[in-house]
Structure 1
Amino acid sequence: MLDTATVGFIGGGNMGEALIRGILQAGLLAPERLVVFDVSRERLEHLEGAYGVVRAETLSACAQASQVIIVAVKPQNMGEVLESMAPSTPHRPLVISIAAGVPIQTIEAALPQGIPVIRVMPNTPALVQQGASALARGTHAEDTHMEAALTLFRSVGIAHELDEKLLDAVTGLSGSGPAYVLHFLESLTDGGVLMGIPRPVARDLVVQTVMGTARMILETGRHPSQLKDMVTSPGGTTIHGLEVLEKEGVRGAIMGAVRAATERSKALGG
């Protein structure tokens, strides 16, 4: 589907720019097949100058020119955007929404009957092409539509198709997950400082430790518990540190954070 498609972006903020950069770096589409509209003329000028994309002067012009439309606006603006976009979609483009908490049913109801819709929950590491996205298809989205959407979002990281009912859990896990990881990184760094390591050195050691550990999981394919056991010698330093984490309930706290964020996402999606 992407072979001949023009991809339009309604919204050229951080996530929209991340996708544009990922698509171009992956060689999926040429810049002239990316059309962008944003309410900020400054953003449009930046994107046009930085990436060579086509600037659309109106939302309608962007929608009319595109066979795939990525709606990258804030959830509170979705109603207005969809209302403006609907008359410009008689050609039935694929509409991909990354507006958190806006159900597929709401999007489909605001657009002409039969338009394929895919809802995506990305996360902020997409800004550095290391994102994790989950995609859910609407009533009229077929395999070709989903494959096109997966290809686009895999240009900024990994992407998986899931049922829409699981997107709230994805929000609680990978959507909010970067904040949990950063909280852990900050705490681990502070632990190093507490023990006398200069903060810049502690930060570098912690960041590399986390990056290296994640790479070990990916490249070995082993379960985290197996890799943890490799580090944990009987009676050694690591098992004494792990004992404290278990006593403090860190595992349960992290699981609880995912649950709380998931439930809040459900409530906001109402």
Structure 2
Amino acid sequence: MKLGFIGCGNMASAIIGGILNKGLAQPEDICASVKTQSSAQKIQNTLGISCTTNNLEVAKTADYLFLAVKPQFCTDVALQIKDALTDKQVIISVIAGKNLEWLKEHLGNDKKIIRTMPNTPALVGEGVTGVCPDNLTSDEDLQNVLTLLRSFGQADIVTEPILDIVGAVSGSSPAFVFMFIEALADGAVAEGMPRKQAYDFAAQAVLGSAKMVLETKKHPGELKDMVCSPAGTTIEGVNTLEKEGMRSAVMDAVRACIQKTRKL
């Protein structure tokens, strides 16, 4: 199985790293393309795979071809590779905002295409990816792609309308979580805690809290109530967050991301 990546930034590198770490492919089975020769050399040195500046070369040789370029570059890339693609290849899009209809129009209606939306925690093997296949993709091909995507975290099938929501609730949200961790640490620093220690405590608290949601399967509100003792310190903090509109601010941020995605 030959894997190709057109675009090899942080996300594609995380995907490749997961695949290699799990032994699902060998470095010689993976080829990527990037804009500059210096970037190609860096990828080769870092990941040990073949890397070129020729998108067409990658498109011709891959059984499973990942498109991992920025949305603004997709039209140019599609024009470059369209005639080199075959109906036997599986094309996996990691491009935000470009739906199956757009991809079919620009790459060919006879092509097997799977839209995906991974997130940056893939860099540490804790990613989550929404997966939306077209009606030409076989069950075998879909299972092969899911296996690749699960090499760096979770991957689940969703409908295409849900995929834009996935981009916000898991794709963009790490930025919101990082802001929250930074704010927690800033509050601790303001009261005298050393900054490095504050980051460590805040980050571990967020990690542990997320793990409780996933492993206990309890409603987040129930878990919150478990921390809030009557007349205690935590409920005072919760009261402040409610006054400041934390919930509505986060909801608005998620919806803003979704609306932006739909305009891409």
Give the TM-score normalised by the residue count of structure 2.
0.93
Deviation at 1:267, TM superposition (A): 2.3
Aligned to 2:111: 115
Q: Give the aligned partner of residue 26 of structure 1.
A: 22
Give yes or no for the alignment of 1:258 onto 2:245.
no
* Distance apart, 1:58 and its partner CA: 2.5
2:225 corresponds to 1:225: no
Residue 200 of structure 1 deviates from its aligned partner by: 2.0
Aligned-partner SS, 1:134 = strand
Q: CA deviation at 1:56?
A: 4.6
- What is the root-mean-square deviation of aligned Cα atoms in Å? 1.7
Q: Partner of 2:200 in structure 1?
A: 204
Secondary structure at the counterpart of residue 262 of structure 2: helix
Q: Is the 8 A contact 1:118 1:136 kept in 2?
A: yes
2:33 is aligned to 37
Instruction: Read off the aligned partner of 2:259 and give its amino acid letter.
Output: E
Structure 1: distance between partners of 2:68 and 2:17: 14
Question: For 1:38 and 1:267, how far apart are their aligned partners in 2?
Answer: 26
The structure-2 alpha-carbon separation of the partners of 1:198 and 1:56, relative to structure 1 and needing over 3 Å to count, comes to closer
Q: For 1:97-116, what aligned pairs fall within 5 Å after superposition?
A: 97-116=93-112
DSSP-derived class of the 1:158 partner: strand
Residue of 76, 81, 89 corresponding to 1:80: 76
Q: Secondary structure at the match of 2:23?
A: coil
The Cα shift of 1:92 comes to 2.7
Unaligned runs of 5+ in 2: none
How has the CA–CA distance of structure 1 residues 34 and 256 changed in structure 2, closer, same or farther, with 3 Å as cutoff? same
CA distance in 1: counterparts of 2:234 and 2:9, whole angstroms? 43
Identity between Structure 1 and Structure 2 (%): 39
The alpha-carbon deviation at position 218 of structure 1 amounts to 2.4
Structure 1: 5+ residue stretches without partners? none
Correspondence for 1:49? 45
Give, in angstroms, the shift of residue 54 of structure 1. 2.8
Secondary structure of the residue aligned to 1:29 is coil
Q: Which residue of 2 aligns with 1:247?
A: 243
Q: Which residue of structure 1 lines up, in the alignment, with residue 8 of structure 2?
A: 12
1:120-145 deviation line (CA, Å, top 9, x unaligned): 11122222222221111123223222
Q: Which residue of 2 aligns with 1:142?
A: 138
Residue 160 of structure 2 corresponds to which residue in structure 1?
Answer: 164
SS of residue in 1 equivalent to 2:149: helix
Against the structure 1 CA distance between its residues 205 and 71, is the aligned structure 2 distance closer, same or farther, given a 3 Å change threshold? same
- Whether the aligned pair in 2 keeps the contact of 1:92 and 1:114 (CA below 8 Å) is no
Matched, 1:63 2:59: yes
Measure the CA separation in 2 of the matches of 1:259 and 1:15.
23
Relative to structure 1, the CA distance from residue 174 to residue 41 in structure 2 (aligned partners, 3 Å threshold; closer, same or farther) is: same
Partner SS for 1:176:
helix
> TM-score if structure 1 supplies the norm length?
0.91
How big is the shift at 1:59? 1.9
Tell me which stretches of 4 or more aligned residues in structure 1 moved more than 6 Å. Answer: none
> What is residue 131 of structure 1 aligned with on the other side?
127
